[in-house]
Amino acid sequence: MRARDNPFAAQCVQAIPYRLSGSTWEKLLDRLAALRCRAALVGPHGRGKTTLLEELARRLDERGLRTRRIVLREGDRRLSGAQRETLFRSLTARDVLLVDGAEQFGRLAWLEVRTRSRAAGGLVITSHRPGLLPTLYECRTTPELLAGIVADLVGREEAGRLPPAEDLLVRHGGNVRDALRDLYDFCAGITSSPAARTGSP
């Protein structure tokens, strides 16, 4: 299969909106307001924190706020000059700072962000661990969630021909992003059945 035809291509996966479990967008935004717009989206790798943060940004923008987003990569212990500029330049109460991957910060950098963000209307972070800010939402994955995403990407009938979501999620320790990459390889013919490699029937 050509990459352009692969239903699990990154662009197709990224187009799938985040699915809230046990909550609604209205409740989530109410809770964010109750937390004075300072909160964290928490969960391990591949649970959809970034997707949720992007969706949240879109909804905050729709409400007339201005979101400023930076993404921290593995090992980014401090802010770069460009990231400082993005976050802190001419801050007003209409600005909401979004930091993706805040668990990467060293203590001093996190202190700087917390202190300087007081001039903003909000600070929302994603983090692998709770405790940096009050948890707004804990991102979790289930086989049903993965099965739903797969069905959205390929249709229910085709999804039935793919390895079971339960097996994929077990193989990838709950990481939906890696499970979807595995399905990309499977559809591309790069690997044999991921389910077969788990030893599942």
Partner 1 sequence: MERIQIETRDGATAFAPGEVVEGTASWQLDKPARTVELRLFWYTQGKGDQDVGVVLTVPFPEPALQDRRSFHVVLPQGPYSFSGKLISLLWALEVVAEPGSRAGRIEIVVSPSRREIVLQPHFLVV
CA angle 32, 38, 41 (to 5 degrees): 70
- Which backbone phi and psi does 161 adopt, to 5 degrees? -90, -5
What Å distances lie between residue 102 and 23, 43, 138, 140, CA to CA?
24, 12, 15, 18
- Other CB atoms within a 10 A radius of the CB of residue 20 amount to 15
Q: Taking the complex as a whole, how short is the minimal distance between the CB of residue 181 and partner 1, in angstroms?
A: 7
Using CB under 8 A, which of the segments 64-72, 113-121, 177-185, 192-200 binds partner 1? 177-185
**Cβ contacts of 35 within 8 Å, gap of 6 or more:** 133, 134, 136
Applying CB under 8 A, which part among 86-94, 98-106, 154-162, 178-186 lies near partner 1?
178-186
Does position 6 interact with partner 1 (CB under 8 A)? The reply is: yes
Stretch that binds partner 1, among 8-16, 71-79, 85-93, 115-123 (CB under 8 A): 8-16
- Verify binding: residue 190, partner 1, rule CB under 8 A: yes
The residues binding partner 1 (CB under 8 A) are 1-4, 6, 8-11, 181, 184-185, 188-190
